[in-house]
């Protein structure tokens, strides 16, 4: 039964918002950017993704006592303000890490195909080995890709990692053939990540190297990146989205509109994690009736050839999430059109499912079948 005494304002990009949250109170859904002081003034809970700045300007004078974020990045949340004002805050850490890891692995296989190299001959540098970075590392290891890892804050907490894994300093990590960044965007503290790959650091990059940013705009210095000669730039996260830097955009071999974490599983995990926390906070039992709204399993994937495992995997990854389609969807030489398409496409992003939801028709290669199982696919 709906509790009409409570009001919950929710970003309308939170999937199944009405179905999941409506038994807890009156649900008001709004585009994240349209959530303002007026719309939250008399509400009890606010549930955002990344497009709402949560701070004193938004919440001063409101009745909000719970803020939930169904995404991971925290750079849009003034957590100190929330603590000081006794507002309960919860964010769905880890909810989309597998989605981003699958995006990166898909990108790697696409690059290998395009530039005709063998991934097992390359090194992959992972900067930031948290939920996302660790999953990329685990998958890369299964696929025989050599990794260099960099995460000074994690090493301080777990010094034993140096001995057991390929942890290196940033300069060494920047020698990898392919470098991918997965730190949060932070400007303070002992290890700020803003401008981590600075103009100076970019001078170390050689023309055979590939740079990927699916973390946040600003971790790699964009102004210097535009003028850095690389083999390819892959960019999912940008400064000033959706008004992204035109020259950097044109330099990108693959440019996607901040969708690496947008699998259906990731979005649903973000929503349900916040939902469970809100139920706990309000001391209300959870319900799962809304789950009947989830779409059916995707169709079975068939692989057209198995002579090359790398090519077969590229085909399969592309069939689960077509990253070239995401790039093409926003491509435009007219920067204004690009900016418009950017936000529109990500807000209406086509549903895709993670590997563990996918069924593959058993191939005639036992090695490929084993690898697919280890990567989470079901063979039928």
Ligand X SMILES: NC(=O)c1ccc[n+]([C@@H]2O[C@H](COP(=O)([O-])OP(=O)(O)OC[C@H]3O[C@@H](n4cnc5c(N)ncnc54)[C@H](O)[C@@H]3O)[C@@H](O)[C@H]2O)c1
DSSP line for 304-326: S--S-HHHHHHHHHHHH--HHHH
> Which residue, 168 or 371, has its beta carbon nearer to ligand X?
168
Among 182, 321, 339, 346, binds ligand X (CB under 6 A): 182
Q: Is 241 part of the annotated catalytic residue set?
A: yes
Nearest to 59 by CA among 81, 28, 37: 37
Is 216 a residue of the active site? Answer: yes
**Residue 183 is labelled as binding a ligand:** yes
Does the annotation place 261 within a ligand binding site?
yes
HSE-up of residue 358 (Cα within 13 Å, Cβ side) = 25
23-62 residues near ligand DEZ, rule: CB under 6 A: 49-51
Q: Does 96 bind ligand DEZ (CB under 6 A)?
A: yes
Residues in the chain: 380
Contacting residue, 73, 133, 217, 257, with ligand DEZ by CB under 6 A: 73
Q: Which stretch binds ligand X (CB under 6 A): 82-90, 146-154, 243-251, 313-321?
A: 146-154
User: Is 80 a known active-site residue?
Assistant: no
Other Cβ atoms within 10 Å of 23 Cβ, number: 17
Q: Does 330 bind ligand DEZ (CB under 6 A)?
A: no
Beta-carbon contacts of residue 216 (< 8 Å; ≥ 6 apart): 73, 75, 184, 185, 193, 237
Residue with the two structure tokens 């401008």: 195
Cα-to-chain-centroid distance, residue 255: 14
What mask of x and - would describe binding to ligand X in positions 93 to 122, judged by CB under 6 A? -x-xx--x----------------------
**Cα distance between residue 291 and residue 289, in whole Å:** 5
The reply on whether position 72 binds ligand DEZ by CB under 6 A is yes
Residue of 49, 154, 182, 216 marked catalytic? 216
By CB under 6 A, is residue 228 in contact with ligand DEZ? Answer: no
378 Cα distance to chain centroid: 24
Which of ligand DEZ, ligand X, none interacts with 50 (beta carbon under 5 to 8 A by kind)? ligand DEZ
Check residue 258 for interaction with ligand X (CB under 6 A). Answer: yes
CA atoms within 13 A on the CB side of 147: 27
Q: Are 128 and 181 in contact (CB under 8 A)?
A: yes
State yes or no: residue 154 binds ligand X (CB under 6 A). Answer: yes
Indicate the pairing of strand 146-150 with strand 123-127. Answer: parallel
Residues that bind ligand DEZ (CB under 6 A): 13, 49-51, 71-73, 96, 258, 261-262
**Binding site members:** 50, 151, 183, 236, 261
Residues that bind ligand X (CB under 6 A): 72-73, 94, 96-97, 100, 127-133, 150-154, 182-185, 191, 193, 196, 214-216, 236-237, 258, 260-261
**Binding site members for substrate:** 50
| Catalytically annotated residues | 216, 241, 258
């Amino acid at each position: 039964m709906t509790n009409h005494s409570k009001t919950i304002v929710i970003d309308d990009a939170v999937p199944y918002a009405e179905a999941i949250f409506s038994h807890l109170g009156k649900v008001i859904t709004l585009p994240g950017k349209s959530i303002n002081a007026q719309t939250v003034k008399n509400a009890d809970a606010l549930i955002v993704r990344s497009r709402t700045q949560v701070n004193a300007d938004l919440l001063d004078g409101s009745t909000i006592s719970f803020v939930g974020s169904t995404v991971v990045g925290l750079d849009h949340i003034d957590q100190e303000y929330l603590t000081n004002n006794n507002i309960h805050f919860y964010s769905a850490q880890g909810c989309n890490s597998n989605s981003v890891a699958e995006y990166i692995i898909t990108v790697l296989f696409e690059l290998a195909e395009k530039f005709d190299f063998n991934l097992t001959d390359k090194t992959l540098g992972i900067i930031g080995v948290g939920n996302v970075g660790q999953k990329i590392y685990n998958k890369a290891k299964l696929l025989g890709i050599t990794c260099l890892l960099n995460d000074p804050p994690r090493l301080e907490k777990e010094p034993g990692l140096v001995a057991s894994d390929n942890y290196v300093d940033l300069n060494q990590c920047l020698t990898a053939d392919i470098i991918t960044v997965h730190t949060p965007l932070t400007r303070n503290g002992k290890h700020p990540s803003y401008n981590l790959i600075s103009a100076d650091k970019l001078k170390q990059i050689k023309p055979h190297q590939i740079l990927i940013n699916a973390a946040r705009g600003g971790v790699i210095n964009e102004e210097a990146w535009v003028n850095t000669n690389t083999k390819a730039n892959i960019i999912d996260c940008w400064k000033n989205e959706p008004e992204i830097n035109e020259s950097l955009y044109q330099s990108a071999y693959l440019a996607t509109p901040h969708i690496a974490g947008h699998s259906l599983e990731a979005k649903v995990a973000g929503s349900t994690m916040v939902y469970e926390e809100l139920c706990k906070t309000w001391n209300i039992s959870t319900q799962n009736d809304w789950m009947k709204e989830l779409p059916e399993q995707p169709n079975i994937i068939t692989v057209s050839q198995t002579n090359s495992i790398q090519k077969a995997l590229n085909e399969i990854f592309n069939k689960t999430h077509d990253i070239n389609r995401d790039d093409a969807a926003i491509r435009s030489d007219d920067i204004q059109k690009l900016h418009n398409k950017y936000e529109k496409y990500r807000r209406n992003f086509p549903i895709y499912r993670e590997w563990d939801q996918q069924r593959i028709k058993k191939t005639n290669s036992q090695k490929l079948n084993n690898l697919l199982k280890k990567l989470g696919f079901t063979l039928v």
